[in-house]
Structure 1
Amino acid sequence: MSPDNDVIERSAREPAVFATLYDRHASSVFRYAAQRLGDHAADDVMSETFLVAFERRSAYDLTVVDARPWLLGIATRLMRKHVRLEATAWKGMIADLTAQIVPDLIDLAGARIDAHRLTQRLAKALRRLPEIDRDTLLLYAWGNLDYASIATAMEVPVGTVRSRLNRARRQLRRAAGIETLEQETDYGRTDTAPQHA
């Protein structure tokens, strides 16, 4: 099986080969978009993501083996067009997102009323995050990307990803009433450099 960068390179000569990339990554792009916008809008974002990727395939960095961060970066930029849809979808997603982003906060809250209030404060804090910080956080939590892959998706250095995630976590901890001096941790993911051929 050819790696993604080989598929993209070959698609310049044989456009039909690009369908392999769709087969490999469509479900990841769909899941990421669905968590942010819901299933109906996710179909549109997924389709548009691959259309944009196909049109821009000549600009792809062929030294990067895995195209998923590139595709999720395209999807993230496309979803900015769907901000209103995302705002209405937040309510159903907040509890899931907070559980992924800030481990054990709900357990620390104790009572259900406290957990409900905590969820409301965290939802408000998430809405107030700058768009670039929120996108970075969602690529981490829902895109399941490590720091290096987020950097590729957002087209920024890894240090910028670390800063954005650290700033977002600090704001969420503050909203939750938890002040800690703990080191930034890439929970459960290996912080690796982008894969190169």
Structure 2
Amino acid sequence: MTAPTETGRADDEALLASSVRDGDRFTAVYDRHFADVHRYVAGRLGPQTADDVVAETFLAAFRRRGAFDPARGTVRPWLFGIATNLIAQHRRAETRRYQALAKIGADRDPGGHDDRVAARVTAEGMQPRLARALGGLSRKDRDVVLLVALSGLTHAEVAEALGVPYGTVGSRLNRARRKLRAVLDMEGT
């Protein structure tokens, strides 16, 4: 989940551009970013829903690849922006998920090794208090917090992904952190 280097960004742009002429080249973009996008979506919606949403994300990216404008940002935040927009279509499922996690807590025995690893990096491993706190955030604030926390995007990349000014990301993140701290401090006593 590390940020791509300048070379990686240029490679992404070149791959995406070449995929317009040869659709098979898009496979390299998919291979490079699938795991990070899936981790982010699974953290928001759960692993079962994530498979479908990530498939939708890459299908939408494939269809829009000719309209990608590197002057407006890089491929990685563009993909996370598409995923975040698709998550919005599943907002009720996300809210129900946080409410359920807040009530019952995380599964103490998620199963095999792969499931345990996924549980650690997704909402499955969240404490009920954190789930309640995240569920109480506005959609816009929650998007910023989870793009930073689950995908490791920088403030600039979050701004690209959401199509908002850089300063707005900082404001939303600070507001969300204050709200999360207040809820977690209040419930911790």
Distance 1:143 1:13, change over 3 A: same
SS in 2 for 1:145: coil
The residue number in structure 2 matching 1:88 is 96
Structure 1 residue 44 and structure 2 residue 52: aligned?
yes
Corresponding residue pairs, total? 157
The residue number in structure 1 matching 2:157 is 149
The residue number in structure 1 matching 2:42 is 34
The residue number in structure 1 matching 2:13 is 5
Distance 1:65 1:7, change over 3 A: farther
Query: What does the per-residue CA deviation read over 1:100-136, in whole Å, with 9 as the maximum and x for residues that have no partner?
Result: xxxxxxxxxxxxxxxxxxx53x443322211011011
The residue number in structure 2 matching 1:182 is none
CA RMSD of aligned residues (A): 2.3
Q: Is the 8 A contact 2:73 2:160 kept in 1?
A: no
1 CA distance for matches of 2:47 and 2:132? 24
Query: What does the per-residue CA deviation read over 1:13-59, in whole Å, with 9 as the maximum and x for residues that have no partner?
Result: 11221111001111111111111111111110111001101111122
SS in 2 for 1:77: helix
1 CA distance for matches of 2:75 and 2:150? 17
What TM-score do the two structures reach when normalised by structure 1?
0.71
Structure 1 residue 21 and structure 2 residue 29: aligned?
yes
Within-5 A mapping of 1:103-142: 120=129, 122-142=130-150
Query: Aligned AA for 1:16?
Result: D
Consecutive unaligned residues in structure 2, runs of 5 or more: 1-7, 107-121
Query: What does the per-residue CA deviation read over 1:154-178, in whole Å, with 9 as the maximum and x for residues that have no partner?
Result: 1111111001001101111222348
Q: Is the 8 A contact 1:33 1:79 kept in 2?
A: yes
Aligned residues with identical type, % of pairs:
45
Q: Is the 8 A contact 2:37 2:54 kept in 1?
A: yes
The residue number in structure 1 matching 2:112 is none
Q: Is the 8 A contact 2:16 2:65 kept in 1?
A: yes
CA shift, 1:96, in A, is 5.0
Distance 1:95 1:23, change over 3 A: closer
Pair member with larger Rg: 1
Distance 1:177 1:31, change over 3 A: closer
Consecutive unaligned residues in structure 1, runs of 5 or more: 99-118, 179-197
Please list every run of at least 4 consecutive aligned residues from structure 1 whose deviation after the TM superposition is greater than 3 angstroms.
63-66, 92-98, 122-125
Distance 1:51 1:23, change over 3 A: same
Query: Aligned AA for 1:159?
Result: G
- Structure number with higher helix proportion: 2
Query: Aligned AA for 2:161?
Result: A
What TM-score do the two structures reach when normalised by structure 2?
0.74
Q: Is the 8 A contact 1:136 1:165 kept in 2?
A: yes
Given candidates 54, 57, 70, the residue that maps to 2:62 is 54
2 CA distance for matches of 1:77 and 1:144? 18
